[in-house]
Amino acid sequence: MTANTTTETPTFLAACRSEPTSHTPVWIMRQAGRYLPEYRAIRKTVDFLTLTKTPELAAEVTLQPTRRFALDAAILFSDIMTPVEGMGVSLDFSPGPVVTNPIRDAARIEELRVPNPEESVPFVLETVRAVVGALPKDVPLIGFAGAPFTLFCYLVEGRGSKTFSTAKSFLFAEPEASHQLLEKLADTMALYLGAQAAAGARALMIFDSWAGLLGPEQYRRFALPAVARVIEALKPLDVPLIYFPNQGATLLEDVATVDVDVVGVDWRLPLSKVRSLLGSRISVQGNLDPAALFAPPDELKSQIDSVLAEAGGQPGHVFNLGHGIERTTNPDAVALLVDYVHERTER
Amino acid sequence: MTANTTTETPTFLAACRSEPTSHTPVWIMRQAGRYLPEYRAIRKTVDFLTLTKTPELAAEVTLQPTRRFALDAAILFSDIMTPVEGMGVSLDFSPGPVVTNPIRDAARIEELRVPNPEESVPFVLETVRAVVGALPKDVPLIGFAGAPFTLFCYLVEGRGSKTFSTAKSFLFAEPEASHQLLEKLADTMALYLGAQAAAGARALMIFDSWAGLLGPEQYRRFALPAVARVIEALKPLDVPLIYFPNQGATLLEDVATVDVDVVGVDWRLPLSKVRSLLGSRISVQGNLDPAALFAPPDELKSQIDSVLAEAGGQPGHVFNLGHGIERTTNPDAVALLVDYVHERTER
């Protein structure tokens, strides 16, 4: 289902560029992960951190869902904090990443490096090469990184949080230092993503998981310029760029000002409204509620139909969930989803 | 600052009804709480649960912020799970409320009672009476409850969660049972809020903390009819009703269809847009980002000015934060906020 009959370009990449395709491509955020028994089997033998740092295993895990489902793209298995260690930030895992010494002053920010990814994360680039070598030619690999503001949240807060109130307060209390940290993160992520593309990733996605914690004014002041800096640096590569401002319904008019190819959106705003806010230049990716995968098959199909109807068809729609798949999801529901999206959109 | 010179009605209540007022009233979500040293002093001697169930102490904690700041309203100190125990749900606290045996089937829902609040939560009503007796006449007490969907999230998930994915999946997997649970919660909350009004609360607020987890379709199908049922039951009381659909920016057109007096909003959408979505009939409450209280005084004032400008002035604006105050907030910043809102809006 993944070949695009109208051009030589893989369907997923054509849709990213708003070109006509033979069907609506589909992939699933966190498609390589805990809902798959074959993933859990590997995780029984190795901890998460080791998995992300062992190319052979990370590549295997990246490939697993592409063997089981007719997915139109693969996405690198890694963690958004992986490239941050090379900046000079030490992390513990307990079980999620915890910054040993959270960053809360200008002196610490000054000390942070912008590392060369070939030196700081060679294992990630080796994983990319291994995956690209193993994937069918019409299934591109998506490389990814965290957006500067989202990484800022973790570095300042020190750990995951519902509100990231320490990080957000830092924006208000120390705007200059905040800008400096965001710029260093932007430069580091631009190099990191560029290296993934050089290693063979054919699209690049920037996850702004915590963008939705900001009101529009703070978003325009801090998060948006930082992600725009990443995008500007990557634009010459001519690889489709996907930006996912999670819970960003109120930010989309601002998002439309950056030069990305695709904007990923959560399930909170129907895609017809998303499209009207983003304009016709930008493709949309999303946005089925991950909870819909727990519905009986007929209801799941009805929910998928609803997303497809809101998207208004090709060109310019990549089907996905509106957030990462839940670990308790039945893989059979994913198979149904992938096949049904293909069946309903084939032409 | 709390007297309204144009009518006998307290300023806060007049603003709730979109009547002209002498200044913009202000109160703060979680104004009775951990950021106040006098609150922490009481909590050193008693655990949270005991505090909520001991009228003398709960009343004292409710009154504390009204002594320190020129607030235009007080809000009952309690927990949204308090009225749920009387339905036949047993809770542990560790430290937040945990449902001993989460509700995940129709038989459990069938067994739940809709209790009489005079029997199930006499201590809450006694607290209301004690507070009302002690407050100045021009500072009304706001009673409150959780919205049915938000309580549903806790009862099905069993505990607090970032995504409440089990609860959301239950909506998709068991829509009929979900509706039954939501209706029982609506009926229980309607009685609970009505009893608070009978005991002297002069406005009633419904917190839908997790409304923003739903897309518009699921919101219209489940959460909205349930909260509308509460509102319909309370409307004859002629007490202002405030509904707070947290993170509900994409739900406001639907929210505008229910017969509330005030809609509270978080900081993600500027109040000018909120007002245009809600229409002129409904007053708005909010929406300063709680993180702004960590800004230097001049920046904090600028952020307050921005909220006031977006609100477009009275009538129909109650100043508040867009979410509960953070526990690390300096009380001096709250004093600045309250006085500055009064000063800037006095006429």
Q: List the single residue in B with minimal CA-CA distance to A266.
A: B215
Give the residue numbers of B annotated as catalytic, written as ranges. 30, 34, 43, 79, 154
Chain B partners of A299 at a C-beta cutoff of 8 Å?
172
Check B328 against A165: CB less than 8 A apart. Answer: yes
Answer whether residue B1 shows pLDDT above 90.
Answer: no
Q: List the single residue in A with minimal CA-CA distance to B214.
A: A268
Report the C-alpha gap between B322 and B258 in whole angstroms.
21
Residue type, B138: D
Write the CB contacts of B70 (distance below 8 Å, at least 6 apart in sequence): B1, B2, B338, B339, B342
Answer whether residue B4 shows pLDDT above 60.
Answer: no
Which pLDDT does position B6 carry in this prediction? 45
Residue B314 confidence class, pLDDT cut points 50, 70, 90: confident
Active site residue A266: no
Q: Which value does ipTM take for this structure? A: 0.93
A268-291 average pLDDT score: 97
B125-154 average pLDDT score: 98
Answer whether residue B7 shows pLDDT above 60.
Answer: no
Residue B95 confidence class, pLDDT cut points 50, 70, 90: confident
Q: What is the pLDDT of residues B50-80, one digit of tens each?
A: 999 999 999 999 999 999 999 999 999 999 9
Check B289 against A163: CB less than 8 A apart. Answer: no
Report the C-alpha gap between B271 and B320 in whole angstroms.
12
Query: What sign has the CA pseudo-torsion A95, A97, A103, A104?
Result: negative
Which pLDDT does position B92 carry in this prediction? 87
Tell me what percent of the residues of chain A surpass a pLDDT of 90. Answer: 93
CA-wise closest residue to B254 among B214, B290, B286: B214
Which pLDDT does position A1 carry in this prediction? 47
User: Are the beta carbons of A57 and A42 closer than 8 angstroms?
Assistant: yes
Identified catalytic residue from A17, A43, A159, A344: A43
Check B295 against A172: CB less than 8 A apart. Answer: yes
Identified catalytic residue from A35, A39, A154, A340: A154
Which pLDDT does position B186 carry in this prediction? 98
Which pLDDT does position A5 carry in this prediction? 47
Answer whether residue A43 shows pLDDT above 50.
Answer: yes
A7-24 average pLDDT score: 93
Q: What is the pLDDT of residues A234-244, one digit of tens each?
A: 999 999 999 99
Q: List the single residue in B with minimal CA-CA distance to A212.
A: B268
Size of interface A-B (CB pairs under 8 A): 90
What is the DSSP pairing of strand B141-146 with strand B74-75?
parallel
Chain B partners of A216 at a C-beta cutoff of 8 Å?
268-270
Check B165 against A269: CB less than 8 A apart. Answer: no
Active site residue A154: yes
Q: What is the 3-state secondary structure (H, E, C) of chain B?
A: CCCCCCCCCCHHHHHHCCCCCCCCCECCCCCCCCCCHHHHHHHCCCCHHHHHHCHHHHHHHHHHHHHHCCCCCEECCCCCCHHHHHHCCCEEECCCEEECCCCCCHHHHHHCCCCCHHHHCHHHHHHHHHHHHHCCCCCCEEEEEECHHHHHHHHHHCCCCCCCHHHHHHHHHCHHHHHHHHHHHHHHHHHHHHHHHHCCCCEEEEEECCHHHCCHHHHHHHHHHHHHHHHHHHHHHCCCEEEEECCCHHHHHHHCCCCCCEEECCCCCCHHHHHHHHCCCCEEEEEECHHHHHCCHHHHHHHHHHHHHHHCCCCCEEEEECCCCCCCCCHHHHHHHHHHHHHHHCC
Q: What is the pLDDT of residues A123-135, one digit of tens each?
A: 999 999 999 999 9
Chain A partners of B296 at a C-beta cutoff of 8 Å?
173
Which pLDDT does position B251 carry in this prediction? 98
Mean pLDDT of chain A: 95
Write the CB contacts of A121 (distance below 8 Å, at least 6 apart in sequence): A82, A83, A86, A192, A195
Q: List the single residue in B with minimal CA-CA distance to A219.
A: B268
Q: What is the pLDDT of residues B110-129, one digit of tens each?
A: 999 999 999 999 999 999 99
Residue A310 confidence class, pLDDT cut points 50, 70, 90: very high
Q: What is the pLDDT of residues B250-263, one digit of tens each?
A: 999 999 999 999 99
Tell me what percent of the residues of chain B surpass a pLDDT of 90. Answer: 93
Which pLDDT does position B261 carry in this prediction? 98
Mutant choice from A176, A217, A250 vs B, greatest count of B C-beta within 10 A:
A250
A251 DSSP 8-state letter: G
Identified catalytic residue from A35, A39, A79, A104: A79
How big is chain B by its Cα radius of gyration, in Å? 19
Report the C-alpha gap between B263 and B116 in whole angstroms.
28
Q: List the single residue in B with minimal CA-CA distance to A249.
A: B250
Answer whether residue B2 shows pLDDT above 70.
Answer: no
Chain centroid to CA B267? 15
Q: List the single residue in B with minimal CA-CA distance to A216.
A: B268
A62 DSSP 8-state letter: H
Q: Distances in Å between the alpha carbon of B84 and those of A107, A320, B146, B182, B226?
A: 50, 37, 10, 12, 16
Which pLDDT does position A347 carry in this prediction? 85
Residue labelled with tokens 């007002």: B275
Structural domains for chain A = 11-345 (3.20.20.210)
Chain B partners of A277 at a C-beta cutoff of 8 Å?
none
Chain A partners of B218 at a C-beta cutoff of 8 Å?
289
Report the C-alpha gap between B148 and B141 in whole angstroms.
22
Residue among B170, B291, B303 whose CB faces A165 most closely: B291
* Interface list for chain B against chain A, based on CB atoms closer than 8 Å: 162-163, 165-166, 168-173, 212, 214-218, 247, 249-250, 267-270, 289-292, 294-296, 299-300, 303, 306, 322-323, 326, 328
Which pLDDT does position B22 carry in this prediction? 94
Answer whether residue B202 shows pLDDT above 90.
Answer: yes
Residue B347 confidence class, pLDDT cut points 50, 70, 90: confident
Write the CB contacts of A240 (distance below 8 Å, at least 6 apart in sequence): A13, A16, A17, A202, A203, A204, A261, A262
A186-192 average pLDDT score: 98
Chain B partners of A176 at a C-beta cutoff of 8 Å?
none
Which pLDDT does position B5 carry in this prediction? 47
Nearest CA distance, A100 vs chain B (angstrom)? 21
* Interface list for chain A against chain B, based on CB atoms closer than 8 Å: 162-163, 165-166, 168-173, 212, 214-218, 247, 249-250, 267-270, 289-292, 294-296, 299, 303, 306, 322-323, 326, 328
Which pLDDT does position B128 carry in this prediction? 98
Chain A partners of B290 at a C-beta cutoff of 8 Å?
165
Identified catalytic residue from A17, A34, A68, A159: A34
Residue labelled with tokens 């949080």: A161
Prediction pTM value: 0.95
Residue B209 confidence class, pLDDT cut points 50, 70, 90: very high
User: Are the beta carbons of B64 and B39 closer than 8 angstroms?
Assistant: yes
What is the DSSP pairing of strand B283-288 with strand B203-208?
unpaired
Residue labelled with tokens 């009893």: B195
Answer whether residue A228 shows pLDDT above 50.
Answer: yes
Nearest CA distance, B305 vs chain A (angstrom)? 13
Q: Six-digit token pair at A223?
A: 């998060």
Mean pLDDT of chain B: 95
Dihedral of the alpha carbons of B252, B256, B258, B261, in degrees to the nearest 10: 110
Residue labelled with tokens 């017969």: B259
Which pLDDT does position A94 carry in this prediction? 77
Active site residue A79: yes
Which pLDDT does position A6 carry in this prediction? 45
Residue among B214, B249, B306 whose CB faces A250 most closely: B249
Q: What is the pLDDT of residues A250-276, one digit of tens each?
A: 999 999 999 999 999 999 999 999 999
